[in-house]
Amino acid sequence: MITLAGIIGSGKSSLTEILADELGTKPFYEPVEDNPVLPLFYQGNEIAAKRRAAGEQNVSNPYAYLLQTFFLNRRFKMIKLAKKGSNNILDRSIYEDAMFMKMNTAMGNATEIEYKIYQELLANMLSELQYVSDEPTEDLMVMINVSYETMIKRIKKRGREFEQIEADPSLVSYYHNLLDYYHQWAESYDISPFLMIDGNKYDFVENLADRAQVLDQIESKLVELGKLTPAEFAALQQKRAHN
């Protein structure tokens, strides 16, 4: 199973679609459009930031734990489905979800009790996956690394109102904090093979030459891991060259 990782607006969903189409495998997407909690979470962040600025202490976001539990439940279901095939693709990792919960707890958006319960739930889910299969949850983790400027540009382009820094200035510090957590997470990740894609350098959505280079990087790694044969890799390159 291939998993995409990266901050908001890095292009995970786009690359998931591109890669699944390239490999002829099934994509699994993060639940956003049908997520009733996500807009509430952003509203809760804004309200909590204003209350803290007014001097209130121990102010949490009442929707942080709910949101992360929603994501965790959906991710667990998608992993079980994705592992039934070969080289299926998820557009976010269950380990990133854990990082978000850790960050929200450190920021005061979630309580220590909520974080402890979340960790216990995650551990139970991962142990169940380990029971079903003795292989790692991911065969390959692909992280798209982008700067704050690239992230904001792409967030503006896709136009979700609740993600815009103009609508909620408190998101500026939230996004910078999130970038720091992603850097720490990438440096410490050791659960499966890991590949970093430069999302500032490669515009794999609009630029076909950039897309080909990114696909070559991922597919070369899959060949190295024995998840794709050299002949299959060559055939994919040839097919791209003729399209």
210 noted as active-site residue = no
4: tokens are 């995409």
- For 161, other C-beta atoms within 10 Å of its C-beta total 10
What is the DSSP code string of 114-166?
Answer: HHHHHHHHHHHHHHHHHHH-SS-S-SEEEEEE--HHHHHHHHHHHT-GGG-TT
Sign of CA dihedral 208, 213, 217, 222: positive
Catalytic residue among 21, 34, 91, 168: 91
Q: Write out the H or E segment, with its range, that includes residue 4.
A: strand 2-5
Dmax over CA atoms of the chain, in Å, equals 63
Q: Where in the sequence numbering do the catalytic residues fall?
A: 91
